[in-house]
Amino acid sequence: MKTVKIGLLGLGTVGGGALNIIQHTLPEIERRLGQSIEVAIIAVRDLTRTRSVDTQNIPLTDNATEVVNHPDVDIVVELMGGTGLAKSLLETAIQNGKHIVTANKALIAEHGNALFALAKKHNVIISYEAAVAGGIPVIKAMREGLAANKVEWVAGIINGTGNYILTEMKKPGADFAAVLKVAQELGYAEADPTFDVEGIDAAHKLTILASIAFGIELQFNKVYTEGISQITADDIRFAEQLDYEIKHLGVASRLENGFSLRVHPTMVPKSVLIANVSGVMNAVMAFGNHVGPTMYYGPGAGAGPTASSVVADIVEVIRWKEQPIDVQVPALGFALDQLQSAPVVSIDEIETSYYLRCFAKDHVGVLAKITAILADSNISIEHLHQEPCSQEANAATLVIITNHVKESLLNTAIETLSELDDIEGDIMRIRIESLGA
């Protein structure tokens, strides 16, 4: 039986999980392939560290270049993260004719265009299923399963930390800061949670999904990104009363003048399946012009789920590695020379409904001023709720649901409302997406 040799870059949570799967599932993998897998070398940061997986018979090195230059390695599996050293190492591996498996969403989102072009030049494969949504095979599903469709939009809960926080904030007495602290204690959030709670992690993943969905180049720097740190327990409560759930969504959609790529808190009707995805789970919806809405759900992070996708990619690469690159499924689902450098429109150009919350002085004429300002911007009110403000006497909390309106018009109206002496503090705005409901 032929043996394919693997070189691992990184033996952290995912790297250890991948090695564990290979060691304990090898007979099943060999049955699928008719070939065997052997981990030939692993690059680690600290050679003295105690490992949770058995590395007794595997050479370890703290010099990662040994892996990408190793003469016997067929496939380099990059699980170290980052976009500096990882990029340089993979470029060397590709130039050496070695195939690539990676879980590095930042690397693909920010440098994928160049890496895929380099891989094609050297007739090697880059597989990256684990870079988006952990254990959910959403890349393969969208790239291959939806190939007969013109995808109109993609929307996803693609960061488990943010989804956990918003889920826990539904509990009485919970607020963002307290729930974030618990998430950090449980290991769901990093000590510096910025990438998760401010949407950067999700933006990397959305960049990849949008490219596969629409056949456009990877354009991470054009994704509008907004976090969840300003969401309050009141917003969660009002959403519940209005029959919505607040989710931190990545949304990519076709518009008449280009594409919209955005990550932000979103109110979703409870009747939509993705609204009921709770905790650290992930889900991605895609709407194809022939199939309609489809959804892919599962664990989006962790050693087991993410490593499962890594090993599945290793299996896929072994199956295809002897074939010319031109006969394989393109990395982004479209032939590399057919990817469009399509315009990504400003967030100001999107049109949707909005949830607005503000504090206002509770006296005669305030509502009339607010409705007049909205009307001047051609914004009608679909729902209005008022209740006494618990924080201040003679003040009220106002909640407004608007009609479908262009964001630029809403921005103008919010600026004018904020100038009123009767409005106190910032006006909270959350976009509403029906997602086919």
Q: What is the 3-state secondary structure (H, E, C) of the chain?
A: CCEEEEEEECCCHHHHHHHHHHHHHHHHHHHHHCCEEEEEEEECCCCCCCCCCCCCCCCEECCCHHHHCCCCCCEEEECCCCCCHHHHHHHHHHHCCCEEEECCHHHHHHHHHHHHHHHHHCCCCEECHHHCCCCCCHHHHHHHHCCCCCEEEEEEECCHHHHHHHHHCCCCCCCHHHHHHHHHHCCCCCCCCHHHHCCHHHHHHHHHHHHHHHCECCCHHHCEECCCCCCCHHHHHHHHHCCEEEEEEEEEEEECCEEEEEEEEEEEECCCHHHHCCCCEEEEEEEECCCEEEEEEEECCCHHHHHHHHHHHHHHHHHHCCCCHHHCCCCCCCCHHHCECCCECCHHHCEEEEEEEEEEECCCCHHHHHHHHHHHCCCCEEEEEEEECCCCCCEEEEEEEECCEEHHHHHHHHHHHHCCCCEEEEEEEEEECCCCC
Instruction: Report the pLDDT value the prediction gives residue 214, as an integer from 0 to 100.
Output: 97
**pLDDT tens per residue across span 254-287:** 999 999 999 999 999 999 999 999 999 999 999 9
Judge whether 155 and 263 are in contact, CB under 8 Å.
Answer: no
Residue 397 confidence (pLDDT) above 80? yes
Those residues with Cβ within 8 angstroms of residue 401's Cβ, 6 or more apart along the chain or in another chain:
242, 353, 354, 355, 356, 381, 382, 383, 384, 432
Which residue type occupies 346? S
Question: What is the separation, in whole angstroms, between the first and last Cα of the chain?
Answer: 53
Q: Could you tell me the pLDDT band of residue 353, with boundaries at 50, 70 and 90?
A: very high
The band of 426, judged by pLDDT with boundaries at 50, 70 and 90, is very high
Provide the mean pLDDT of the chain: 94
Q: How confident is the model at residue 41 (pLDDT cuts 50, 70, 90)?
A: very high
- Checking if the pLDDT of 157 tops 80, the result is yes
Class of domain 138-299: alpha beta
The predicted structure's pLDDT at residue 390 = 64
Topology of the domain comprising 350-432 = Alpha-Beta Plaits (3.30.70)
> Residue 188 pLDDT > 90, yes or no?
no
Determine the pLDDT at residue 303: 87
Q: What is the pLDDT of residue 395?
A: 81
Catalytic residues: 205
Q: Check if the beta carbon of residue 271 is closer than 8 Å to that of residue 279.
A: no
The pLDDT score that the predictor gives to residue 144 is 95
Q: Give pLDDT, residue 383.
A: 95
The domain ranges of the chain are 3-135+304-337, 138-299, 350-432
Q: Which pLDDT score, from 0 to 100, does residue 209 have?
A: 98
User: pLDDT category, 391, cuts 50, 70, 90?
Assistant: low
The pLDDT confidence band at residue 226, using thresholds 50, 70 and 90, is very high
Mean local confidence (pLDDT), 93-102 = 98
Which residues fall within 8 angstroms of residue 202, CB to CB, at 6 or more apart?
156, 158, 159, 162, 225, 248, 250, 263
The CATH code of domain 3-135+304-337 reads 3.40.50.720
What is the per-residue pLDDT for 362?
A: 77
Report residue 414 as tokens: 């919010």
pLDDT in tens, 298-335: 998 888 999 999 999 999 999 998 888 888 899 999 99
- pLDDT value at 392 more than 70: no
User: pLDDT class for 252, splitting at 50, 70, 90?
Assistant: very high
Give me the pLDDT at residue 393, please: 65
